Amino acid sequence: MVIKLNSIIVTPLVVVVIILLHVSAAQGGSYPLNITNPVVIALGQFAVAEHNKAAKTKLEFREVIKRYVRPRYSILYYELIVYAKDDDSLHYYLTYLQREIIWSKPLVLTSFEECDSGNESNVRCNLN
């Protein structure tokens, strides 16, 4: 259900992003994502849903905190920080997604890790 919604919503975003990126012709740069945009929220929901499937967890998506998309040739690399509920507590997760656009490959989750507050992985998540 979530996945179906995503493929509908995410495709138009990708098209818009691609147009913008091709106009700027700045391969290799990073572009901030609008975290209140429903399309970006759908990316966060997709990441949590895929992680739940793979790791047999039951995280509940809350919101996307921040991050960017980095185009490289025909692949868009998304880096997101997602805020999600695990049982009774809320946690931040650093997650990476990617999508090949020319051949319209599906969105793929490549990494999903908790940002552990109080050690260097929190610094990597750069929550402050």
Q: Which residues of 61-70 are buried (b: 16+ CB within 10 A; e: fewer)?
A: beebbebebb
Contact between 37 and ligand NAG by CB under 6 A: the answer reads: yes
Contact between 34 and ligand NAG by CB under 6 A: the answer reads: yes
Sheet holding 89-100, edge to edge: 31-32, 60-72, 75-86, 89-100, 108-114
Binding segment toward ligand NAG, per CB under 6 A, in 55-63, 78-86, 102-110, 115-123: 115-123
In angstroms, what is the minimal distance from the CB of 35 to ligand NAG?
Answer: 8
Contact between 89 and ligand NAG by CB under 6 A: the answer reads: no
* Whole-number CA gyration radius for the chain: 14
Instruction: Please tell me what DSSP assigns to residue 107.
Output: P
Contact between 127 and ligand NAG by CB under 6 A: the answer reads: no
Which residues of the chain form contacts with ligand NAG (CB under 6 A)?
Answer: 34, 36-37, 114, 116, 119-121
